[in-house]
Each structure stands twice: as C-alpha cells, then as structure tokens.
Amino acid sequence: MRTLYSVRLEGLAANPAAPADLLLLILERAEPRMRNALLRREGVPDAVYEAAARHPDPRTRRLVAAAGHAPAAIRARLAADPDPACL
C-alpha cells in the first residue's frame, strides 16, 4: 500500500528542481521504488549517478547501467560490476 509519505517522497525524487543533496538522501535511505523514480528520469546530477553506481543494492546499480541518460563514463564503469545484470 502506498502511503502519503511514499507518494510525496516519490514526487520529490521525480522533481527536476530537487537539489542534489536531497536526491542523495533519497538514494541512500529510500526504498527501491523511490530510487527507481529518481534514476529513471532525465536531469539527474552526475553526483547522484556516481553514488548510485556505488550503491550496495545491485538493483540500484542496474538502474544506472540501464539509464540511457546516465553519463557514459559511469555506465562504462559498471561493465566491471560483479553483478552480471549491470553489464
């Protein structure tokens, strides 16, 4: 069940005007659905992609690898990721 909190957090993650500091907190602390909303949109700061590419959850790293708008250099580094789904 989606709560009001999760709906608001998902909205912040998808907001192109959200500051990088807030996006990094969402990336670090939020549940996977919020990270998904964040990493699938365009305009995510490179610092957020950098942090996501080092995230302990392989699902988050896979999102970066699949994001066509993530910087190519970051996606290329994920080719060496131990999780084969990140290739």
For residue 7, the model assigns a pLDDT of 86
Residue 28 in contact with residue 52, Cβ under 8 Å? no
pLDDT of residue 85: 81
* Count of C-beta atoms within a 10 Å radius of residue 46: 12
Domain span at 74: 4-86
pLDDT above 90 for 3: no
Question: How far apart are the C-alpha atoms of 13 and 84, rounded to whole Å?
Answer: 27
Each residue's pLDDT tens digit, 19-54: 999 999 999 998 888 898 899 899 999 999 999 999
Task: List, for residues 48-81, the tens digit of each pLDDT value.
Answer: 999 999 999 999 999 999 988 999 999 999 999 9
Q: How many domains does the chain have?
A: 1
Amino acid 73: pLDDT: 95
Within 8 A by CB and 6+ apart from 83, the residues are 58, 61, 62
Tell me the whole-structure pTM to 2 decimals: 0.89
